[in-house]
Chain A
Amino acid sequence: MTDDTIRTAAHDPVRVEALGIQREGFRISDVSFSVPRGGVVGMVGPNGAGKTTAIRALLGLVAPDAGTVRTFGCAPGSPEALARIGIVLDQPTAAPEWRVDSIGRRLAPFYAEWDDALLRDMLDRLGVPRTQRVGELSRGQGVKLTLAAALAQRPELLILDEPSSGLDPASRRQIGDVIRDFMIDPDHAVLFSTHITTDLDALADDLLVLVGGRVAYRGPLHEATETFAIARGAGSPPREHVLGVQRSGAGWTALVRMEDSAVFDAGTVIDTASIDDIVIHLGAEHQGVAA
């Protein structure tokens, strides 16, 4: 490793190594990933895969039982790190009776770089009514409010937990546009989790697939669809060279590695795998293992 790569690694906004969290009925094991400057990492996985828990561990809201978590080289949850992170969780973290136009006045004293003009601009751009109370906002407006407030902090890293879940396509596009604008600065970075894999195609450079609390895939997004393929056939699915199987009627589909696609017989059709295919089949394999 050269000095340059060491320095780059040391300055990664997020570094997670062998993260382990065990709670009643839930476990994350050996999760490692990083978010480099200039990078957008999309985290996907079935419900209960550990996406939200991993994000909460990054923020210091949940304490890891094993492994190392660093944000900007600091312990998770340290004020120094949190001052550089804009956070959008799945629900607005604001009292329902607060008026939207009071958010800036309330939060600004905590952030040295707070930009109230940017907050107002973002609220107008995203169509969040400034005179309403937080409790009167729709889910989409609540997410947009949280995103606007996160950006007004002038963060270097944006962490978003399911920002587009339950939003209409127009709102999802608005949020995607805002994230792309944020990434114009090469020092910025984004980590987001999602159920909607089209968001990944639009935004992410790197993909992190979590299944059953473990990393099922980690790497460049474009390589994921080149690494895996979907095999389709009838009758009983093969047992070897298969990463996950789904049965449908008399047939089956299986996630396989592209390099293994030649081992299947002529009756098996090999197709390109989409991100949805990868997540669904890896999740199906996990459920099968768990059963």
Chain B
Amino acid sequence: MSLVFARFDLQSWLPRTQTLLPLAFIVVIGVVLPVPGMAIAASAIVTMLLVPTPFLGDERGRLDTLYGTLPVSRTSIVVGRTLAIVALNAIAVIVANASTLLVALARGGSPDPQILLLVNAGAFALVGLAVALQLPVFFRIGYSRGRLMAYAPALVIAGLAWIGQETGLITSNVAPPAPIPVLAAIGFAIGLIGIIAGAVVAARLYRDRELR
């Protein structure tokens, strides 16, 4: 039933202008900014910004109450929405990588595959972080009461970047601390763990939520 709900969920909010415009924004970034990987970074930012969107739609359409009356477990709803967000991220990543490659080809170059791998892994880690922070809050208290959480991933990332700079971990002059495939694996692992942890915590919190 999680897949059924994921499909239902995507049908509800993916075709909206407010979802499709940010996806177009990724292409614009890929074209306008010549640095390879910027569109991929933009895909992560777009996904992070769009995580609250379905919860906003739930409140506007009283869909929370509908979910409570569907013959589906609350866990299936959480897993289904997580899958829908992952699907949105997959679309954003495909758009980002395609525009990166096409722009590079149009300019007569080819981006470094290792850089692309690393940027994709970093972007996925950010998405995992956003899901881990936002899903539990939105599932527990809804969009209206939890909307400040929409900014939480950006604040956490900015905080981590500042700490990295202050401690010398982030500089442009040093070699990577580990081989790029290892760093990429760590990035993908962080993303995956974030998504799973977010869904598990959200399922526990949503199970006891009263839907009025």
Contacts and interface: CB of A to CB of B under 8 A. Distances in A.
Contacts, number: 69
B68 A110 contact: no
Nearest to B64: A93
Interface string A79-115: 1101101010101111111100000001101110000
Nearest to B57: A95
B106 interface: no
Contact of A59 (B7, B63, B68): B68
Interface size bracket, A side: 20 to 34
Contact of A109 (B7, B68, B73, B212): B7
B66 A93 contact: yes
Given A61-B211, A61-B212, A109 B8 contact: yes
B165 interface: no
Given A82-B70, A95-B63, A110-B72, 11 more contacts: A56-B211, A62-B210, A79-B71, A82-B69, A82-B72, A83-B71, A93-B63, A95-B60, A98-B12, A106-B8, A109-B7
A62 to B, nearest CB: 5
A59 B61 CA distance: 19
Nearest to B74: A77
A79 B68 CA distance: 10
Nearest to A112: B71
Contacts of A59: 68-69
B76 to A, nearest CB: 8
B212 A56 contact: yes
Contacts of B1: 79, 110
B57 A93 contact: no
Interface residues of B, number: 24
Given A79-B73, A80-B71, A91 B62 contact: yes
B112 interface: no
Interface in B38-82: 57, 60-63, 65-66, 68-73
A106 B11 contact: yes
A63 interface: yes
B73 A93 contact: no
Interface in A50-84: 56, 59-63, 77, 79-80, 82-83
A61 B211 CA distance: 5
Contacts of A60: 68
Contact of B208 (A63, A82, A92, A97): A63
B13 to A, nearest CB: 9
B4 interface: yes
Interface of B: 1, 4, 7-8, 11-12, 16, 57, 60-63, 65-66, 68-73, 208, 210-212
A93 B72 contact: no
A55 to B, nearest CB: 11
17 contacts: A56-B212, A59-B68, A61-B65, A62-B211, A63-B210, A85-B69, A93-B61, A94-B63, A94-B66, A95-B12, A97-B61, A98-B12, A109-B4, A110-B4, A110-B70, A110-B71, A111-B71
B7 A77 contact: no
A110 B8 CA distance: 9
Contacts of B8: 106, 109-110
Contacts of B57: 95
Nearest to B16: A97
Contact of A79 (B11, B72, B211): B72
Nearest to A21: B210
B52 to A, nearest CB: 16
A96 B210 contact: no
Nearest to B13: A95
In the A-B complex, the 3 residue pairs with the closest CB atoms:
A95-B61, A83-B71, A93-B66
Interface string A192-227: 000000000000000000000000000000000000
Contacts of B73: 79
Nearest to A62: B210
Interface in A230-286: none
B54 to A, nearest CB: 10
A61 B68 contact: yes
Nearest to A77: B68
A209 B152 CA distance: 49
A80 B70 CA distance: 10
B11 to A, nearest CB: 6
Nearest to A94: B61
Contacts of A107: 70
